[in-house]
């Protein structure tokens, strides 16, 4: 039983002495020094309003997330070092400040500032409810009476009572995305811990939300939102499944599902080379797994393996997520790690091909341009060596209000097709929508092929085919275009674009960049344009990161490029 474990002082004494947990404890101490000792400040009204005026999310969110990171570090350090009063005193101060917040919802999720109701439940309100209600039980009488009273009162007011009202509509219950799992998990935890006698009444809506979440996954277990969102949404789903199993005395075991087993193996398929991962959609070029979460899953499913020797730890992530951060700390068990450095996997459901060997990693996709956290990226691919993407998918842009509005989203570089290794036809990029997709996608065990002319919706082109052949020594990509009858193209009407994260050297039909060499035929010397990327600390993009856009004006109807590690 999870609660019995984490309420046992002997367990924490063991962690305190554990060499395996030492790096995790050091991480917590670092977060405490940076965030835990920072002044506790209120978010000014003008800062919350700024999102509605300028669309800027960062200012207000940093105050919010800094407080949650501090909350997590102080709570876990108070368990590891119960005699150290500085951690526990700070924990109670932070909890009191969180209870005083006007809302636990992020400004970006508030409908408006005119008639907003502070007991609405978004991702982060649910996460806060989960954290405080679990701490209420774990710390028990160690908390001062007023802190216990405030936690119970505020969780009831903001989570339990509004969700108990069946007249209140929460759209996320029917979202086929991480929202359904995160929100439902936070709500369920609040009931299980603080109102267990009322959980049965709301469980049908929790079940409905979890079913909605699982519909975002196909039976193959792939998360179309990417590794970061797998960790987020599925991490909360696993947290809920563990709690439900304990709460029902083992009568409800969500881990018995073959689909959950398949979803649990998703992370190992996403690592291409070291920490370089598949970054389709709004994800990061660099991945950090939640090790303890994967350790827990590895105990349940022997098929869960690790893609490379893990050295990274993330207990307090950028947003300060308690549920799986705490569990990753508790579940940390290096004995479960089994390594695998070669993989070949294709999902016909979402048309992703992933290949990895010790020399390089590669991923390509078909799909459509109406996916969760969609980018217009049908036909895009990634080639990685030495722990970094070289032919790259730059991943997520900076989240702003406009970034999530269809009328503005694809004006941004990151989600538009101009940031992906796909063609430009007659100066136009791919379009957004479910009908703009790859057609006739086939994987024959060696070559992944499809026609993605439909992604451009241009009557002047009847077919645009890409065939990707994967071998242990490298990858060959063959491209072929067919024009409609009567169309006489000119040089530059069909441009093959490739996006690199390292400045290339180009000579004699060869591109050299970042430990990769690519040879091409079907075009002359390409042009290279530099594109500054949007900095985002949470996905490892810095202010100086640049993508290099390599554009080939195809001379005929065919273009081929062969990509290999330079030192194969």
In this structure, are residues 136 and 193 in contact, taking their beta carbons and an 8 Å threshold? yes
Residues 31, 320 contacting (CB under 8 angstroms): no
| Burial of residue 437 (number of CB atoms within 10 Å: 0-12, 13-18, 19+) | buried
Please give the Cα distance from 390 to 502 (Å, whole number). 6
Q: Looking at residue 116, what is its pLDDT?
A: 65
CB atoms within 10 A of CB 357: 17
Give kind and range of the element (H or E) at residue 49.
helix 45-54
For 369, phi and psi rounded to 5 degrees? -100, 40
Give the chain's domains with CATH numbers: 217-340 (no CATH), 343-565 (2.70.98.70)
Per-position DSSP letters for 439-455, written without gaps between them: EEEEE-SSEEEEE-GGG
pLDDT of residue 534: 87
Residue 424 is inside which H or E element, if any? strand 424-425
Q: Classify each residue of 299-322 as buried b or exposed e, where b means 16 or more C-beta atoms within 10 Å of its C-beta.
A: ebbeebbbbbebeebbbbbbbbbb
Q: How far does CA 35 lie from the centroid of its chain?
A: 23
Q: What is the pLDDT of residues 117-146, one digit of tens each?
A: 778 899 999 999 999 999 999 999 999 999
Q: How far apart are CA 47 and CA 63, in angstroms?
A: 10
Model pTM score:
0.93
Query: Which DSSP letter does residue 329 get?
Result: H
The 10 Å Cβ neighbour count of residue 37 is: 11
In sequence order, the β-bridge partners of residue 451 are: 439, 465
Task: Spell out, as residue ranges, where the chain has pLDDT lower than 70.
Answer: 48, 51-60, 113, 115-116, 308-313, 568
159/162 Cα distance (integer angstroms): 6
pLDDT of the residue at 46: 76
User: Within 10 A of 146 (CB to CB), how many other CB atoms are there?
Assistant: 11
- Helix %, strand %, coil % of the chain (to 5): 40, 20, 35
DSSP H or E stretch at residue 560: strand 558-565
Contacts of 136 (CB under 8 A, 6+ apart): 143, 148, 151, 152, 155, 193, 194
Q: Cα–Cα distance between 48 and 120 in angstroms, integer?
A: 16
Q: How far apart are CA 288 and CA 276, in angstroms?
A: 9
């Amino acid at each position: 039983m999870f609660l019995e474990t984490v309420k046992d002082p002997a367990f924490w004494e063991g962690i305190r002495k554990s060499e395996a947990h030492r790096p995790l404890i050091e991480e917590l101490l670092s977060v405490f020094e940076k965030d835990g000792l920072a002044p506790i400040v209120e978010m000014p009204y003008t800062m919350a309003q700024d999102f509605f005026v300028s669309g800027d999310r960062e200012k207000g969110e940093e105050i919010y997330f800094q407080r949650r990171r501090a909350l997590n570090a102080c709570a876990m350090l108070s368990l590891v070092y119960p005699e150290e009063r500085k951690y526990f005193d700070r924990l109670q101060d932070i909890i009191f400040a969180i209870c005083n917040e006007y809302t636990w919802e992020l400004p970006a999720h508030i409908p408006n500032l005119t008639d907003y109701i502070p007991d609405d439940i978004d991702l982060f309100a649910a996460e806060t409810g989960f954290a405080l209600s679990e701490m209420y039980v774990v710390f028990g009488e160690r908390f001062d009476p007023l802190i216990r009273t405030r936690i119970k009162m505020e969780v009831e007011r903001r989570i339990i009572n509004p969700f108990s009202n069946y007249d209140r509509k929460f759209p996320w219950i029917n979202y086929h995305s991480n929202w359904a799992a995160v929100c439902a998990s936070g709500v369920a935890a609040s009931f299980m811990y603080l109102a267990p006698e009322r959980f049965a009444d709301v469980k049908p809506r929790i079940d409905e939300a979890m079913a909605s979440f699982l519909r975002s996954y196909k039976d193959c277990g792939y998360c179309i939102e990417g590794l970061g969102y797998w960790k987020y949404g599925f991490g909360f789903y696993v947290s809920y499944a563990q709690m439900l199993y304990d709460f029902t005395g083992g009568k409800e075991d969500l881990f018995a599902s073959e689909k959950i087993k398949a979803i649990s193996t998703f992370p190992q398929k996403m690592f291409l080379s070291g920490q370089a991962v598949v970054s389709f959609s709004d994800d990061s070029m660099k991945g950090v797994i939640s090790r303890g979460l994967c350790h827990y899953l590895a105990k349940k499913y022997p098929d869960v393996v690790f893609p490379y020797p893990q050295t990274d730890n993330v207990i307090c992530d950028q947003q300060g997520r308690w549920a799986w951060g705490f569990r990753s700390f508790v579940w940390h068990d290096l004995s479960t790690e089994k390594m695998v450095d070669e993989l070949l996997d294709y999902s016909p459901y979402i048309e992703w091909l992933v290949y990895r060997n010790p020399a390089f990693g590669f991923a390509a996709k078909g799909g459509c341009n109406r996916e969760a956290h969609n980018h217009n990226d049908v036909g895009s691919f990634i080639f990685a060596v030495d722990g970094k993407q070289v032919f790259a998918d730059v991943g997520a842009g900076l989240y702003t209000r406009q970034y999530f509005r269809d009328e503005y989203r694809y004006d941004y570089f990151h989600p538009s097709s101009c940031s992906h290794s796909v063609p430009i036809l007659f100066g136009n990029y791919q379009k957004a929508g479910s009908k703009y997709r790859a057609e006739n996608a086939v994987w024959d065990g060696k070559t992944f092929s499809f026609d993605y002319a439909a992604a451009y919706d241009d009557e002047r082109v009847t077919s645009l085919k890409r065939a990707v052949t994967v071998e242990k020594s490298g990858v060959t990509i063959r491209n072929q275009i067919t024009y409609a009858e009567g169309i006489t193209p000119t040089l530059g009407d069909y441009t093959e674009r490739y996006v690199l994260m390292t400045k290339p050297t180009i000579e004699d039909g060869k591109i050299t960049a970042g430990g990769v060499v690519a040879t091409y035929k079907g075009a002359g010397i390409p042009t290279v344009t530099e594109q500054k990327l949007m900095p985002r600390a949470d996905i490892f993009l810095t202010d100086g990161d640049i993508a290099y856009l390599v554009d080939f004006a195809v001379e005929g109807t065919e273009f081929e490029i062969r990509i290999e590690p330079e030192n194969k």
